[in-house]
Chains A and B, each alone.
Chain A
């Protein structure tokens, strides 16, 4: 992984020091909240429902065992003993005290971490496929490009005050998208030209929130040395033309859709033609230098373990077999596997880990790998380099830590934002709803029967829980101070991205889980075969059977939908 050089270390230390001074002046009353707020947001510090929340960047979801131990130390020393992994591959601490935040930033700087640009109207954490570098189906490791983009975007003076926040994601697998690039302000896919030259396909103007839009392809092929000059041209056009008068119309997706992708493309190409001579262009040696940080570890030689993994997947121990089927991914290195640690067990809040779990997982990352951990946008973790023959032993260890639920990619591996339990902007709770769903459908046979299925919950229209692109999406709304939930179906964040549709009036808290059950029953009743997934069936039959099942009968006689 990338290691800070002396300049990086100095920058992060200086930023922590600067923030310490700003905090001291705020507490002394020398600066107002209005003056302080943009400063704290630039350092990832929000004031949430109960307390300050500190969001820490995990660049493209990659971190080390040492960094995980430091996060555990922070959770124990300055928070309430746990942290929350987010849908943007970051981690949040929910109970920060303002006067202690500078100490936390110092502790982060010690392990080459920070909270810079995790909030505010700037380029946020770069995200990517959590299997980058180990996925058997990828074209090339996307992480060197993420790191180059991270370095370019960090403290970029021109883009420090954009009309709104800006999110960039990378993927590198043809025909598959584990990073939801079409739902980002810019999505970058590593591709090859017809001649076999490496480059990028660039998508722009995607996003969720109040106005969900699937991005459009702005360039089918960009030679890789031009990546940053082209991104700069897009950002410049957005920075100059994006709306600043209306926060709800300020994202790049609104600009792209109001101009149309053709006109937006023209503007970007004009800007690029005018500026690219003077812009940064990658030399091959610089690309190679960055790639060297992400070189594969020194794997001890091992033969293929595909047969072994297959045998694990059919093992007599049904629990282990299910774990091997659902949570273990084929690795590009013979003899190795990538393992998904589910942060969605029976009764734990989705995405949360205690300090002791963090410490133990760090130890396992050292013992069963090379000290690397990945955070996924699905709010799980991945140990990327596990010897396949070690899987039974690792699985037993993971079970003791409550992170071995064999539900990766299944209904209960749901995405869930913090919602009204923590978030100042929320309309309704999402964590207890997620918990109730996990408990109601806590039958792994049933979940396997349902097959791949994404359920995503947001506590408000800001859509941090990605409800628009859940096969089943749930959105919390407020009706006169009471929590209600809209149900939508048919979303997908994959390569064939689609937005879910609301089928009818919202449900009250006490019937929403029953409504989900009704949707699942309907799917099971109409699928053509066991192999037809939920989203395939939904796209084949449309919304009518589901709407009828939800609203066409007197299902909710005692609890009518609002």
Chain B
């Protein structure tokens, strides 16, 4: 799972993520303030401190979101993608064959 050596034109952005409290599903904070399951729909913060300020705001609603945090992602041509092994797997799901995938 190569994560470095990003292509030219790639910039680092910051994304707010967490798990929905009831379902446990991974979600990302979008531009309209809703939680979305697709990373591509996440709001890309150019500055980490902006993302952290937003993190402090969403933390208040713990009934909806659990253990939110900010991670660094890659942005290219307006598309946001993961740039660490952990976030690649969070976005794409387990890389092993499940006994019975959904």
Contact = CB atoms under 8 A, between A and B. Distances in A.
Interface of A: 26-29, 32-33, 47, 49-52, 80-82, 95-99, 347-349, 352-355, 357, 420-422, 426, 428-429, 431-432, 435, 478, 480-483, 509
Interface stretch (B28-36, B41-49, B50-58, B86-94): B86-94
A478 B98 contact: no
Contact of A98 (B23, B62, B86): B23
A393 B85 CA distance: 45
Contact of B94 (A353, A421, A483): A421
Contacts of B83: 481
Contacts, number: 104
B99 A33 contact: no
B98 A483 contact: no
Given A80-B101, A420-B89, 12 more contacts: A27-B21, A33-B62, A47-B19, A51-B23, A51-B25, A81-B99, A353-B99, A429-B85, A429-B96, A431-B94, A431-B95, A481-B3
B3 A98 contact: no
A95 B67 CA distance: 17
Given A82-B100, A420-B85, A98 B24 contact: yes
A429 B95 contact: yes
A429 B1 CA distance: 10
11 contacts: A29-B62, A29-B63, A32-B62, A49-B86, A51-B19, A80-B98, A81-B100, A480-B4, A481-B84, A482-B1, A483-B1
A96 B89 contact: no
B35 to A, nearest CB: 15
Contacts of B96: 349, 421, 429, 431-432, 435
Given A27-B21, A33-B66, A482-B2, A347 B97 contact: yes
A313 B87 CA distance: 49
A115 B85 CA distance: 31
Contacts of B63: 26-29
Given A29-B63, A33-B62, A421-B94, A98 B22 contact: yes
Nearest to A483: B85
Interface of B: 1-4, 19, 21-26, 61-63, 66-67, 83-86, 89-90, 93-102
Contact of B24 (A29, A32, A96, A347): A96
Nearest to A430: B96
Nearest to A79: B100
A33 B101 CA distance: 30
A431 B89 CA distance: 13
B24 A97 contact: yes
A26 B67 CA distance: 13
Contacts of B23: 51, 97-98
Given A51-B25, A482-B85, A355 B100 contact: yes
A79 to B, nearest CB: 10
A30 B84 CA distance: 35
A33 B67 contact: yes
B97 A429 contact: no
A395 to B, nearest CB: 22
A285 B19 CA distance: 52
Given A27-B21, A98-B23, A429-B95, A49 B1 contact: no
B4 to A, nearest CB: 6
Contacts of B25: 50-51
A51 B24 contact: yes
Contacts of A509: 1
Contacts of A347: 97
A51 B21 CA distance: 10
Nearest to B99: A82
A486 to B, nearest CB: 16
Given A81-B100, A82-B100, A353-B99, A26 B19 contact: no
